[in-house]
């Protein structure tokens, strides 16, 4: 067995057999590395303290139409409005701001499928 690299997580996975073997499944080592997401767009937004910050961001249409948006911050609300004829889709983002000089970082994942399996873009706000 190889030594795990720094920052790697070594887990043991048991995979059941497809045959009707009486033997129990054997555990296999699986090394999991954390990779930060690839950020496609970075936005810096400014708001007054103790206000509900709301903005609409235009999303240029791509070869795939976007179906869902997910935020990494639990108190941020995101809503996707589909594109009108010949226009761009809009992403509505609202977030309750705290005291100044508080900074908040969040990631927005844009998906082309409603099952949210494969992100098309990742934005850092």
Q: Residues 2-13: pLDDT tens digits?
A: 444 556 676 776
| Conformational region of residue 108, where left means phi above 0, alpha means psi within -120 to 50, and beta covers everything else | beta
Query: What pLDDT sits at residue 15?
Result: 64
Question: CB–CB of 88/61 below 8 Å?
Answer: yes
d(CA 49, CA 76): 15
Residues 106-118: tens digit of each pLDDT: 888 888 888 888 7
Residues 14-60: tens digit of each pLDDT: 666 666 667 666 677 777 777 788 888 888 888 888 888 888 888 87
Residues 77-88: tens digit of each pLDDT: 888 887 776 677
3-state class of 109 per DSSP? strand
d(CA 20, CA 60): 53
Q: How far is residue 7 CA from its own chain's centroid?
A: 21
């Amino acid at each position: 067995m190889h030594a795990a690299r720094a920052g790697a997580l070594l887990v043991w996975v048991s995979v059941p057999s497809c045959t009707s073997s009486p033997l129990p499944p054997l555990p296999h080592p699986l090394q999991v590395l954390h990779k930060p997401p690839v950020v496609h767009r970075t936005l810096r937004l400014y708001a007054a303290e103790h206000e509900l910050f709301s903005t609409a961001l235009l999303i240029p249409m791509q070869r795939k139409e976007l179906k869902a948006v997910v935020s990494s911050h639990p108190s941020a609300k995101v809503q996707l409005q589909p594109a009108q004829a010949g226009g761009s889709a809009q992403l509505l983002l609202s977030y309750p701001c705290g005291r100044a000089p508080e900074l908040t970082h969040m990631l927005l994942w844009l998906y082309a499928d409603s099952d949210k399996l494969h992100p098309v873009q990742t934005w850092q706000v």
